[in-house]
Amino acid sequence: MSGLFRLHTVVSPVYEENCYIVARPGRDDCVVFDPGLDPQSILEVLETEGLTPAMILNTHGHGDHIAGNAALKNAYKEAPLVIGRNDEPMLSDPALNLSAFSGYSVTSPPADRLLDEGDILEVAGFQWEVLDIPGHSPGHIVFVQRGPDGQVAVFGGDVLFRGSIGRTDFPGGDHAGLIRGIRRKLFTLPDATVVYPGHGPVTTVGREKSTNPFCGLE
């Protein structure tokens, strides 16, 4: 995907959560996906690369994916913070975002915009399509970027992993709903679609369609 964007990944300790910093080649604005428990490393990458966040995007509201929101908003006050509508309550409630039960307590600044299925975000030279795929959390969303040559990338949070899927045993989880969303909204994308997950290595739609043990066709 090197022709589509510049990508920097910051893996936060404890949960090995992936924060992605994504920019167009030749531009100094960017988007930041899911700033996690190591915001200082995220800020250092931004400074080293000369990048300024134009938007902070949360795929969902669990603590390990929103822990860096406050630090990013403090450093870049003009960058809007966005999240799916049904996960918005998790930002301000450590019990709902599960951090209260994990040895740390996360409270995020409020969202500047709430997102719904089909929304299009035009920011930092990108056009991001929003898909609603609940199941890991009630309002989990993913962001789809389509390139001019048919390239497709998905920043998918904790929906689909290499060889696995997001947990559904948390409050608000829905296993059947998650599998349905993956099959209907991700597995209908081209097989070459690259999926950037919230944990672990990147994968492709084609790989998961053929090998993922949780997502066999109906």
Which pLDDT band holds residue 218 (cuts at 50, 70, 90)? very low
- pLDDT bin (cut points 50, 70, 90) of residue 102 is confident
Calculate mean pLDDT across residues 56-69.
98
The pair of structure tokens assigned to 44 is: 């250092």
The Cα–Cα gap between 15 and 46 comes to 22
* Mean model confidence pLDDT for the chain: 96
Mean pLDDT in residue range 56-67: 98
pLDDT at 29: 98
> Is 60 exceeded by the pLDDT of residue 143?
yes
pLDDT at residue 126 above 90? Answer: yes
Give residue-wise pLDDT tens across range 20-52: 999 999 999 999 999 999 999 999 999 999 999
| Residue type at 113 in one-letter notation | R
pLDDT score recorded for residue 1? 47
Domains of the chain: 6-211 (3.60.15.10)
Residue 180 in tokens = 């349905």
pLDDT band at 103 (very low <50, low <70, confident <90, very high): confident
> 199-207 long-range CB contacts below 8 Å, 24 or more apart?
199/15, 199/16, 199/17, 199/18, 199/158, 199/161, 200/16, 200/18, 200/161, 200/162, 200/164, 201/162, 202/162, 203/160, 203/161, 203/162, 203/163, 205/154, 207/162
